[in-house]
Amino acid sequence: MERLRFARKDLLVKAKTSRRDAAFALVVAGLLVAALCSGGCIFSPREPDGPPEGGEGDWEPPVTTTILRSNLKSAMERENVGNYSDCFAEDFRFHVDPSDSLDAGAEGEVRYANWVKSDETQAMQSVFAAASEISIQFTMVEGPDETQDDTFRREDYTMTVYWSSGQHVNEEITYKGRATLHMRREQSRWSIYKWVDRRTVEPDVNETWGVVRGDFRP
């Protein structure tokens, strides 16, 4: 009899607990629904001012590493920071030429340290703000193996920038170097996750793209 009474008490406690759990489940579900509803307000992108007056888009889905390089080139030349940023993976890292870091003196220790995607985007956005015209030529030195999902391209680049403000205002400067672009395919799209920048074998005639990045790192 005593045992039955305790068993009944246990059942009552369990029933109360499950009702309380159900109530909290409802509260959680309500919070989720409320958050989703509020999401409708928070997550409303703006409407553009109108149809384009400038050039039309030339960005292609980067299903090959060649298209990715082409997107990078056109984003630079059209000074399009959104498309430029889309060329890089979220875990992107930039590795400067050791000589560029050493030649930056005391500043070099922090100028190129831990360079991630947000640094890349912000630095290039500042370059776009200071440059009135950019042109880039890539020459492939070593090709990728696109049968793998992780590969690299080695490219010699020549970048010419006409500066409208900053240290070289009203000057046209040519930058040269060799970039090893490590790329990864995710959901059929390629993106750059590591950029190893090196000076060319030629004596120091031109600075590298890495130096431009460092000059504009916020």
Positions touching another protein (CB under 8 A) are 20-22, 24-25, 28-29, 31-32, 35-36, 38-39, 42-57, 59-61, 63, 78, 80-83, 86, 98-99, 102-103, 105-108, 125-126, 128-130, 141-143, 145-147, 165-166, 187-189, 198-199, 201-204, 218
Q: Which is closer to another protein, CB of 3 or CB of 51?
A: 51
Residue 211 contacts residue 113 (beta carbons within 8 Å)? no
- Smallest distance from another protein to CB 1, Å: 32
- Smallest distance from another protein to CB 137, Å: 20
Tell which residue, 182, 60, 192, has the closest CA to residue 124: 192
CA 70 distance to own-chain centroid: 16
Residue 210 contacts residue 197 (beta carbons within 8 Å)? yes
- Smallest distance from another protein to CB 2, Å: 29
How does strand 172-186 pair with strand 189-198?
Answer: antiparallel
Q: Which is closer to another protein, CB of 5 or CB of 54?
A: 54
Q: Name the maximum alpha-carbon separation found in the chain.
A: 99
